[in-house]
Amino acid sequence: MFNIGWGILFIAVNFALFLICYRMFGRVGLYAWIGFATVIANIQVTKTIELSVLSFGIIMTLGNTIYTTISMSTDMLNEKYGPKEARKAVWFGFFTLIASTIMMQMVLKFEPQATDFAQESMQTLFGLMPRLAAGSLLAYLISQFLDVQVYGYLRRRFGASNQFWIRTNVSTGFSQLVDSIVFCTVAFAGTGLYTLNEWLQIAFTTYIFKFIISVVSTPVLYWARSFKPKED
């Protein structure tokens, strides 16, 4: 029960920080958020939690909430600045993930001093990172570019201001389905970390949770769309 209550607060804090970042820094803030979120999401995904819903225990990984804000950012860039800026932001996030992976793998190769206390913990967190990064990079590129393309198509078909919710929810819902399948397959399938049942639960709950967050984020995106940052 604690995880559910804390999770609701966690989602609210993620959305609040996203809004503050865009409000204060405008378009640059969206780029910065995407770079930050791609790295943090791949650290958070190493933690597995269980949610108790109607006496059922659901296994899921963290990282879903902040990863969903990446699609929120690209949708906002697409909405206010056009698909070219959204695609540019996708490549920016791709670079930050590659750069952070390379740097952390190099950090792990340094021989720790005798009194060092961080190496073992860092190895636990970042030792899986190459495989997680491979799954995330592939899923990220496919899903985010898909999100941009689908959003652009929907903008032509449902371009009215009050149809923003259609554009963002359909594009995000579709792209997140592809993202969840690709990521969970590459990152976790065949690793021995999870049983088949646990893996299926993670893949299913990852998508469902992302979709729920994307729906909940709709009022947040409407609010963000009304911002007129000075930096723009």
**pTM, entire model:** 0.85
Percent of the chain clearing pLDDT 70 (strictly above): 91
Burial call 75-93: b when 16+ CB within 10 Å, e when fewer = bbbbbbbebebbbebbebb
- pLDDT digit string (tens) for 84-116? 999 999 999 999 988 988 898 899 999 999 999
- pLDDT digit string (tens) for 153-172? 999 999 898 899 999 999 98
Judge whether residue 25 has pLDDT over 80.
yes
Judge whether residue 30 has pLDDT over 80.
yes
Residue bearing the bigger pLDDT, 46 or 71: 71
